[in-house]
Chain A
Amino acid sequence: MSEEISLMKGNEAIAHAAIRYGVDGYFGYPITPQSEIIETLMEAAPWETTGMVVLQAESELAAINMVYGGAASGKAVMTSSSSPGISLKQEGISYLAGTELPALIVNVQRGGPGLGTIQPSQSDYFQTVKGGGHGDYRLITLAPNSVQEMADFVDLGFRLAFKYRNPAMILTDGAIGQMMEKVRLPESRRRRTEQEIREQCPWAALGKTPDRKPNIHTSLELDPVIMEKNNERFQAKYREIEKNEVRYEEILCEDAKYLFVAFGSAARICLKSIEMAREEGIKVGLLRPITLWPFPGKIIEEYAKKVKGMLVVELNAGQMVEDVRLAANGKVKVEHYGRLGGIVPTPDDVLKALKEKITK
């Protein structure tokens, strides 16, 4: 399939992108608001074309452990879910981190806690970037703000996951998952052959050949001296990712006196608020973190020296704002505006909050 422009939902874009990027396997369990991902894959039946495996598992727990197995054999494998299902997947995510296996996990967030709601939310920020599962690990986290980025980040997520042998997550929400936009789908790329996987991923458990030792994937190490060394190796890798892979977007920041800091759908709302604010003569820009981990703290630190105030806009009770405050380190006023439980604020609400909390 050659490059193609289509109109589709963010969830559908992820599914089509996965097929076109030559992903080897998808394992998932239905949950609103992301079920279109597995539905689209089942409808497309890629096992008949690219050979991609698609399987509806018995639970999110089984699905993430299927991903763990597939990843251990060197395959490009992914799963998707929404908040309550992502909580169930934390066991497998921790094991992926502990065995240093690449995989892509998509979280189309909905409001929580508990069963919560099915409307959009960004309240899994802490869970994603601060841990989620047990142990000292980090999850490469990409936050798309458009249907196009939903498609693009399937590729980016896998590239980073394989480069660093680390799980990666696309952290999006019900708004981006459900909304329809124009999207440019990539040209089809064939899946890697077993020979290519053996060469590119010499660690893959594909059957031991006489020229190498067995490939064993385990996160267990009962000797604390060795376990500390393993952890130090993980941490060194995380520092490397923090050095190389920070991504963000600056919109109308050159002349900005104030800054919105927002990701994903909240950043989309801020774009309209900026337009309205500038009509009133309030010079506000947007700093949009694309990678939530590694977090773009350095650029926030820079802007903290330049602007008069920052408003962190999130669909939660104040999560990323803690990282923004850490980065700003007291140099500038940082306030938070958020709506909870699946409520999405209007651009007016955001502008009003900017005036009340920052510019007045």
Chain B
Amino acid sequence: MNKNDIVSPENIVYKKPELMNDTFMHYCPGCSHGVVHKLIAEVIKELGLEEKTIGIAPVGCAVFAYNYLDIDWVEAAHGRAPAVATAIKRLNPEKMVFTYQGDGDLAAIGTAETIHACNRGENIAIIFINNGIYGMTGGQMAPTTLPNMITSTTPRGRDVRMTGNPVKILDMLIHLDGVCFATRHSVHTAAAVKKAKKAIKHAFENSMAGKGTSIVEIVSTCNAGWKMTPVEANDWMVENMFPVYPLGDLKNV
């Protein structure tokens, strides 16, 4: 039996999504970003939106998202993705516009842009990766860093008296009438990946139906920043992140 017998079409049960480029990813092994990218690529294809979609890349680890999905992209300044997306969608209402943002981008430097895009009910989807740390710049504290969690700018653990408590921004955003869908997921198990994909698809459908702003938060691992193996990071996330950021729909109208 040679290799070609094994990879015959009837034996293929899983493959790389068509919209994912054939290139090396810069993400660390074990990182959640790659899985979420894959889900977005699948959703765009399944909804037949590949010629209509414009992605807004953030500043942070996902800054190079535009290298991985074969669609049009605009790379925004740090935190400004919702403002960038607002204009593209308003000027091109028939397009699918989504932002892909990390916790620092969305919940620290871009808090104002996030809140006001949501409040206006912009018909965009926001994919929010929350791993409680700044990965790209080398593991500093994020607004979502847990109390006592060690980062390079909280080397003795996050002291909430000095830097405040984790920002549960989804819990804040659901009070805005412009938000039609806010949900929290993870991608650490096959079952979780399936649920997360369903949520992303629902968010994209909402955007195209003009229902308002949809936010899908993915509670994620940063095993490099957390200084753990991928398996340890998944366990740590379940044990420590999920109690603060419980999974499930916060709003679905």
- Please list the residues of chain A having a beta carbon within 8 angstroms of any beta carbon in chain B: 24-25, 27, 53, 55, 57-59, 61-63, 65-70, 72-73, 75, 77, 91-92, 95, 99, 194, 205-210, 214-220
Contacts and interface: CB of A to CB of B under 8 A. Distances in A.
19 contacts: A24-B91, A25-B90, A61-B112, A62-B86, A62-B112, A65-B76, A65-B80, A69-B85, A75-B91, A75-B92, A91-B77, A91-B80, A205-B54, A208-B53, A210-B51, A216-B66, A217-B73, A218-B74, A219-B75
B54 A207 contact: yes
Contacts of B80: 61-62, 65, 68, 91-92
Contacts of A215: 72-73
A205 B75 contact: no
A73 B91 contact: yes
Contact of A65 (B64, B77, B95): B77
B75 A66 contact: no
Looking at B77, B84, B116, which has the most chain A CB atoms within 10 Å of its CB? B84
Given A65-B77, A208-B71, A218-B66, A73 B88 contact: yes
A24 B92 CA distance: 10
Contacts of A99: 75
B25 interface: no
Given A72-B88, A73-B92, A217 B74 contact: yes
B83 interface: yes
Interface in B69-107: 70-77, 80, 83-88, 90-92, 95
A208 B87 contact: no
Contacts of B182: none
B31 to A, nearest CB: 18
A94 to B, nearest CB: 9
Given A55-B86, A65-B113, A66-B87, A206 B92 contact: yes
B112 A59 contact: yes
Nearest to B119: A58
Interface of B: 50-54, 56-57, 63-64, 66, 70-77, 80, 83-88, 90-92, 95, 112-113, 115-116
B116 A69 contact: no
Nearest to A213: B70
A68 B86 CA distance: 11
Give 7 closest A-B pairs by Cβ, nearest first: A69-B84, A218-B75, A66-B87, A58-B116, A69-B87, A65-B80, A65-B83
Contacts of A27: 87
A11 to B, nearest CB: 22
Contacts of A194: 92
Contacts of B54: 73, 205-207
Contacts of A205: 54, 72-74, 88
Contacts of B50: 207-208
Contact of A208 (B51, B83, B90, B92): B51
Given A70-B87, A73-B87, 8 more contacts: A27-B87, A57-B116, A58-B115, A69-B84, A69-B86, A207-B51, A209-B51, A217-B75
A205 B97 CA distance: 11
Contacts of B70: 208, 214
A315 to B, nearest CB: 31
A214 B71 contact: yes
A61 to B, nearest CB: 7
B83 A66 contact: yes
Contacts of A59: 112
Contacts of B72: 205-208, 214-216
Nearest to B73: A216
Nearest to A217: B74
Contacts of B115: 58
A62 B91 contact: no
A58 B113 contact: yes
Contacts of A75: 91-92
Nearest to B82: A62
Of A61, A62, A216, A218, the most chain B CB neighbours within 10 A belong to A62
B73 to A, nearest CB: 5
B148 to A, nearest CB: 33
Contact of A218 (B71, B73, B95): B73
A72 B112 contact: no
A183 B249 CA distance: 56
B65 to A, nearest CB: 10
Contacts of A69: 56, 74, 76, 83-88
B73 A214 contact: yes
Contacts of B88: 69-70, 72-73, 205
A219 B73 CA distance: 12
A219 B59 CA distance: 11
A214 B66 CA distance: 9
B12 to A, nearest CB: 23
B100 to A, nearest CB: 13
B172 to A, nearest CB: 15
B75 A220 contact: yes
A221 B11 CA distance: 41
